[in-house]
Amino acid sequence: KNEVEQSPQNLTAQEGEFITINCSYSVGISALHWLQQHPGGGIVSLFMLSSGKKKHGRLIATINIQEKHSSLHITASHPRDSAVYICAVRWETSGSRLTFGEGTQLTVNP
């Protein structure tokens, strides 16, 4: 069964800390997405990547295709970063469909 696993499930940090959220998947993918879901439920797409690294502001996403692993890093974390971060993959064999991880709940305390 094709699976996406995120760790940790829950993460609490102090403002200013460096945050890392991990995503592992089971078989080959054509793309991996990182999404952010705020408490109200709305979802924003942060990154789509198939290799290497992408950076946007304080957010950095990396992917290691050989190890089937991606990380989302947040530098200088802030309470407004508190949200659920979701990893989603598009399998090589599934066309356009995405499979989503369960999400990582991040809480950043002031």
Partner 1 sequence: DGGITQSPKYLFRKEGQNVTLSCEQNLNHDAMYWYRQDPGQGLRLIYYSQIVNDFQKGDIAEGYSVSREKKESFPLTVTSAQKNPTAFYLCASSIRLAETQYFGPGTRLLVL
33 near partner 1 (CB under 8 A): yes
57 vs 95 by CB, closer to partner 1: 95
From 11-19, 60-68, 70-78, 99-107, give the range in contact with partner 1 by CB under 8 A: 99-107
- Contacting partner 1 (CB under 8 A), which of 19, 59, 74, 86? 86
102 near partner 1 (CB under 8 A): yes
> Residues 61, 49: contact at Cβ < 8 Å?
yes
Measured CA to CA, the distance from residue 27 to residue 10 in angstroms comes to 25
Q: How far is CA 35 from CA 49, 72, 110, in A?
A: 12, 10, 23
CB of 41 to partner 1, least distance (A): 4
